[in-house]
Amino acid sequence: MEEILAKYRIESSLSLADAAEEICKEESVGTWTELKTLEPEIQKRLSANVIELDEESKTATIAYSIDEYSHEPGGIPQLLSFVAGNLFGLSLLKHVRLVDIELPSTIVKLYQGPKFGIEGVRNLIGVKKRPLIGTIIKPKIGLSPKEQAEVFYKAARGGIDFGKDDENLVNQAFCPLLERTRQIAEAIDKVKEETGRKVYYAINVTTRADRIVEVAEDALSNGATCLMVDMLCAGYAAIRALAEDGKINVPLHIHRAGHAAFTEDPHHGITMLVLAKLARLAGGDQLHTGTVVGKMKGTKEEVIQTNDFLKNEWFGLKNVFPVASGGVHPLLIPRIVGLLGRDIVIQAGGGVHGHPGGTEAGAKALKQALDAVLQTIPLEEYAEDHKELREAVEKWK
């Protein structure tokens, strides 16, 4: 029988076995007392069961019947309702952390997943092997559409492949979404005309679930080349609505704003690995996963494990471009590439726009740092003949 497996790390005054049984009861057919309405057939078919206990790591793996899952209506929100539901609030459990989930192929194959994946995004802009480099427009809010586009244009002229709105910019009065989209589209065309390079930009369409497809289609009709969704703000169902809509023909860039409320406490919550699995299931093409070396938290082991999952085979779904973003500047490029490899999007906001020479110089410095790494030349040596990188080294060393 196919099952959904969920691995939990549990802290409780109960034994690990008894604590795990409390989760089984709460998230399947049981409750705090015996039920006169629970027939033996239902209990046999739908009861969750503990299949593995590890006293050393305090982890329990629980198997849920595939019959507990409801795809339509339901899907990822319904899946979360039992693998990550009431269990977090059980008074008998001090802490619970959802460490991992394993879904059977029959469930994974119900989803379309990413439309583009790593290869599709690479083909879109004609960059086959190296890491992509991108920027987040800064300041994150306050610029007009024209100013936003001008900053992106300068960054693209400097050599970046990708740009994006920040997580809290959507449709404010100072920077309306559709006008921003039109201005960015003009900047993209201008860069193509002047340099021959293809670049793309993620417009943030995070909004209420019943309007997100409409907003996305409006952005596309005004020239959007990529769409961004704050996954934990809009929800996985919103990502899926975009990914599975035939009219949405651009990559989906998935921001993880708010993730640390779930992921930061090592004793409680949900790991980034689980959030990433759901983002891939929903159809994200690019996903923020951490840098290991930047300003955002995330251990080396966690980030690498998450990235490996996103890049590897998963029952036929396309893979996902991991995004390293947060506190990135040119001097960190060697470490990021060394740790995370070449199938990565490296994004710098302040590390581009905070350059002493401005945005275009900052983008050049970022690209020069990447070129140095790809040629296995130390940054300090490469900087001797590259002014922008030299200035970045002097500022951030």
The DSSP code for 287 is E
Nearest to 362 by CA among 323, 393, 325: 393
Nearest to 204 by CA among 223, 230, 179: 230
In whole angstroms, what is the distance from residue 198 CA to residue 124 CA? 8
In whole angstroms, what is the distance from residue 213 CA to residue 169 CA? 18
Q: Which residues partner with 323 through β-bridges?
A: 288, 345
For the sheet with 269-270, list strands across it. 49-54, 59-65, 3-12, 93-102, 269-270
Chain length of the chain: 397
Measured between its terminal Cα atoms, the distance across the chain in Å is 57
Tokens of 52: 């593995």
The DSSP code for 28 is T
Helix, coil or strand: residue 72: coil
Question: Kind and range of the H or E element at 256?
Answer: none
**Read out DSSP for 48-104?**
-EEEEEETTTTEEEEEEEGGG--TTTTSHHHHHHHHTSGGGG-TTEEEEEEEEEE--
**Residues with a known catalytic role:** 138, 255
In whole angstroms, what is the distance from residue 206 CA to residue 164 CA? 13
Please count the other Cβ atoms lying within 10 Å of the Cβ belonging to residue 127.
Answer: 16
The structure tokens 């029988």 sit at 1
Tokens of 154: 């300068």
Angle between the N-to-C axes of helices 236-243 and 272-282, in degrees from 0 to 180, rounded to the nearest 10? 30
